[in-house]
Chains A and B, each alone.
Chain A
Amino acid sequence: MNKYILFLAQFFILFLFWYLLSGKNIVLLLLLGVIISMLITTYQQKLKILDDESLPIAILPRAIIYWIWLYKEILLSSIFVSKLILKFPLNVSPKYFKIKSNQKTAMGFNIYANSITMTPGTISVVTSNAEKEIQIHAISEETKSGLESGVMDEKIKKLMGDKDV
């Protein structure tokens, strides 16, 4: 990503955050917000910590589509785990297993592990980026097989595109 676009995006995000926390349309406050956001963004660029990894706006349009899909998955598996909780003779048979990921980038692997934890019914317990391997605790056979079908892995691969951060 171009560094001027990154600069503008970071400035816009910081200023939006300032405006959210103040919430007042006073010229002095808005001007102070512009000045402080500009100073912080300039300092970040001087420190060279403003790059594609700290501000991944290149994948943002695809990420929004992915978030909608992930939210649908979260709701579906919440309903599944809720049924499991409310069943009267409680019979859970938890599974503990390892899964391989096809992610090429560290960021994709990170998104994958976090998505697994966010979905109710599966928790990523131990992750290893070197071997691209996650140890997972699943609450039942269904959530385990849903994860092993690899749909989420493919979606994240598509989300990352040809980036290698």
Chain B
Amino acid sequence: MTETSNKPVQGPVLDSLPTYEKAWATPPGWRKLSSVSHRVVGQRFIVTGLIFFLIAGMLAILVRTQLIVPENTFLDAETYNQVFTMHGTLMMFLFAIPILEGFGVYLLPLMLGARDLIFPRLGAFGYWCYLFGGLIVLASFLFDAAPDGGWFMYTPLSTKEYTPGLSADFWLIGITFAEIASVTAAVEIIAAILCTRAPGMSLAKMPIFGWYMLVTAFMIAVGFPPLIIGSILLEIERVLGLPFFDPAMGGDPLLWQHLFWLFGHPEVYIIFLPAAGMVATMLPTFVGKPLFGYGFAVAAVVTMGFISFGLWAHHMFSTGLPTVTLSLFSAASTVVTIPTGVQIFCFILTMAQARPRLTVPMLFILGFLFIFVLGGLTGVMLASVPFNWQAHDSYFVVAHLHYVLIGGMVFPLIGAFYYWTPHFTGRMMSERLGKWAFWLMFIGFHVTFFLMHITGLRGMPRRIATYPEGIGWDRLNMLSSIGSYILAAGVLIFVWDFIAHRWRGPLAPRDPWKAGTLEWLYAPIAPGHNFHAIPRVHSREPLWDQPELLENEAHEIEGMLRDAPHGRRETVGCHPVSGEPLQIVRLPHPTWVPMITAFFVAVSAVALLASFYYVAAAALGATLIGFAVWAWEKSETGQTVDTGPEGILPVDIASRLGHTYIAVIGTLLIMVALFASILFGVLYLWNVQPDFTRRAGDPDLLWIVLAVVAGAALTAMAYLARRNGYVLYDIVIAVLAGGACWALYQALRPVTPDQTALAATLWVMAGFVAVQLFVLGYWSVFNVLRKVFGLAGKGQRIPEVNRAPYALVTFLMLVAAAVMLGAPQLGVFA
């Protein structure tokens, strides 16, 4: 065993299990970059997100300094536009979501009783995409091309005509790239939560953080695609001149707003829910009682997840939508307060069960409750259409959104840092500095943002670089700016504490907060594999309800999969609902492939920015090769492992309960959301610009029918191939996918995409289906090669089982596209 010292040590590393410990060791030195462990990747997300937060915070200070006095010339108008745009962009895209995902990536396996996330390489790939995407966006400053159109990039301002340089392209390409990280993490989190929980951890016994993250992951899967599609359409319009948002050509700038806010409003909840999940996890620890109303909280989280998708147009109340439509969105915006309120009452009633310990994390939780409730109340005000018209684009809205986002996310997050940092570093952060940080942040926040309500009601609009003297805004702005400096001082103290505690913080004891969840089983720093043996779990707070877990040394606890004589990384795969062991999931060892693959995607993005299209195409080709190398592994399906107390289990099962199948379903959810966003665009343009329906030519009906027939045959083959793994099926599927693509192309040839927005959108729709077909073809060819080279044998049919639903969904998309293409000629959608 490892010797103890006055420095925190990760472990214990057991000499009696040399093969096992070696298999899970993190590579030393610079080779640590090849690590794909959730502990390493999660910390990367967290630290990178924190750096982006500090940069965005500095930009906020620049904004407040510019506004501290009227007629200020500290920043010119153009720079000011860049600064507030980048502040919003960094905060929303590169800080809030990634850092929360980072906490999810780090904590979920520990809480759920798994040794790693279920697709470690995907997590690592997502991180590198996030980092490279963020760097691309930040690099715009170096080229004096920082985006300046607001974090929402509204059209027509962001079109080539009004933003001719590269600034909007930096935003569109960089952010779309960074979003890959979010959607990949979503798939991984869904599969990890459903498929790798400790034995006995049914969904009803899952820690509440798991429910929050599960719902958040589903929301990301559905909520991000509209913006990805919107960004692609806008970039195509900027590069190729296709008129998606040009009203003169049958387009509509409001289509961008719809697509943006279809993402943008759920995003507020995507940010809020994980933070609330952290609160729901930390609060019971400091109260010493379980969360009040677990069932109520689950109901609230699920309904919030759904209803938050029905609010997007409340950001568009002043765009001229029909009154009845405004009322619909006003109603949905009001009703979402019900589940939010249920959740808040769960927290309040949890506190009512006993006197909470007023630690630093608890202070931040109380700050969260106070600030978020106030923000929620102004949200209800803004849900009212007449009030919204008055307050629209004023500082009242700025105040509201910061109350919701800083109160609902930043305060819980910093509380979470104080709570979980001992797990990262083995040392406690300072209670004294933490209290200073809290009070400075709390006071500074209210001085800054509470006054903005009044500034807004006095008529000050958002996004103005300066203002005239003597119209009632001077003192309010002065005080808001002073408040922002106090707030920043609080943040700096927290950052200092986060850095300095690594050498001056006291060593963290085992379960330092007396928490009930499984991540505190080991004394910090827990070993990289999380568990020497995965224990059976009987409750949501196993460390409270199963005394044997803390009575013994953590590495001596009875459980599954002690040792790994074969030297492979593995964890227990469970039934998605009951949590009972179902299979053994083999996990990858450290590898450079995710980083290199993400690098090629980055090269492709940069080449697109620089208009080096051949380089971009070559980099995309290299990316595909990267994915192939990634998946070029010998199948282990059919092997078995003696798990110890739970008996013998199969490895990597080919089943609808398997983790890869569930990941494919999660991926398909994203694909369907992407397709639905394009479909929304087609129907929207068709509906609001009826004069342009057939102006760009009609698709060829015969080729449409042939494409559908090829798609139907392909799907039938994909389902037949599940029964046996004949290579012939793979070859036929690849050929049919190619044939369907060709037929689709022939069908669309008579339609000129640059003549109308609808025609251009139809081309995009067909292009998306073609990409789906290409994936099926690529998948099938890859399958053939794996079989030819002996990497997959008889009975090892995970790819076939997983490909079938992918083929079915692609076929349904093909049918929907065919209806959209063919119906106008048949008089149905004329």
A and B interact: no
- Chain A positions within 8 Å of B, measured between CB atoms, are none
Contacts from B to A (Cβ < 8 Å): none
